[in-house]
Structure 1
């Protein structure tokens, strides 16, 4: 049974949250290799939560501006729901650092795995967009995913070169 596509407004908001969350979590992960496991964990959680709040707020202001009126309670709750992808960007990286805190893996490995995870999520954005449109993924979706993964790795490399 095919999925009913979300409205353009709703899926754009969710994609925006997904992209924003992943990019900011990746940016937060990169400089954490020379820090404590507690600091790394708090940074990831703090980045996820603060980005969630900022994104929900910004999207609410934008929707209110577009509609020309204050949002209803249901619309504000919808903006919170549509911002949840920001939070999901932090879950696996925080869990991996948590494994480091337990001593199951070292922090460097946890952070490397978290970075790979986030780059993979960024690459997968094309599949999410395709599914939210109610379309089936195709070869173009795969090519775009590979391209996004490569671009994400270049962005990380440039950030490392310029900031470390």
Structure 2
């Protein structure tokens, strides 16, 4: 069990030689989608706010609460699919597969912290953080391609640009309707 736990927690998130099995890939993609969309949704209403520490707390809180909810939901779903309680190793795997939720908050928090320390204007930091999330959303196409064990093509790039345009349109609609 010790060596299995150690290898589970220390192997690379993306294997270069062997693609993830479909269940793990789907779980990580789901976490990636949830994390990015909910962090962006947390950032957008805060654009007008000048309280940098509050925005950092909102982004961090969103990431942590979404991570916990995602781990719980994925664990329940996996338990239902298997018809039994999950083992400790399976629960740890769910934790590991949910890490993309947390990683979605790292860049926005670092960028917002630059405004908190006065290195960048608050509004500029906010826009940079939002653009960073839009880039992550666009890059989902590359993540999905990689998790499938495929190489990116020209169509992958076109799909990424299209996804970024759609995500931007969603953000614009949200801002117009809620502000």
TM-score above 0.5? yes
1:53 counterpart (65, 68, 73)? 68
Alpha-carbon distance between aligned partners in 2 of 1:13 and 1:108, rounded to the nearest angstrom = 34
Which deviations, in whole Å up to 9, do the C-alpha atoms of 1:69-122 show, x marking residues without a partner?
010000000000000000010000001111111000011111100110000000
1:26 counterpart (36, 40, 43)? 40
Q: Where does the alignment leave 5 or more consecutive residues of structure 2 unmatched?
A: 1-14
Alpha-carbon distance between aligned partners in 1 of 2:33 and 2:151, rounded to the nearest angstrom = 21
Alpha-carbon distance between aligned partners in 2 of 1:8 and 1:48, rounded to the nearest angstrom = 24
The match for 1:89 is 104
The match for 1:123 is 138
Alpha-carbon distance between aligned partners in 1 of 2:56 and 2:64, rounded to the nearest angstrom = 12
Q: By how many angstroms is 1:34 displaced?
A: 2.6
RMSD (Å) for aligned C-alpha atoms: 1.1
TM-score (norm 1): 0.98
Q: By how many angstroms is 1:140 displaced?
A: 1.3
The match for 1:104 is 119
Q: Does residue 40 of structure 1 match 2:48?
A: no
2:164 counterpart (146, 149, 163)? 149
TM-score (norm 2): 0.90
Alpha-carbon distance between aligned partners in 2 of 1:156 and 1:15, rounded to the nearest angstrom = 21
Q: Does residue 13 of structure 1 match 2:27?
A: yes
Alpha-carbon distance between aligned partners in 1 of 2:48 and 2:177, rounded to the nearest angstrom = 16
Alpha-carbon distance between aligned partners in 1 of 2:96 and 2:81, rounded to the nearest angstrom = 19
The match for 1:69 is 84
Alpha-carbon distance between aligned partners in 2 of 1:115 and 1:41, rounded to the nearest angstrom = 13
Alpha-carbon distance between aligned partners in 2 of 1:110 and 1:57, rounded to the nearest angstrom = 32
SS in structure 2 opposite 1:160?
helix
Task: Say how many residue pairs are matched.
Answer: 164
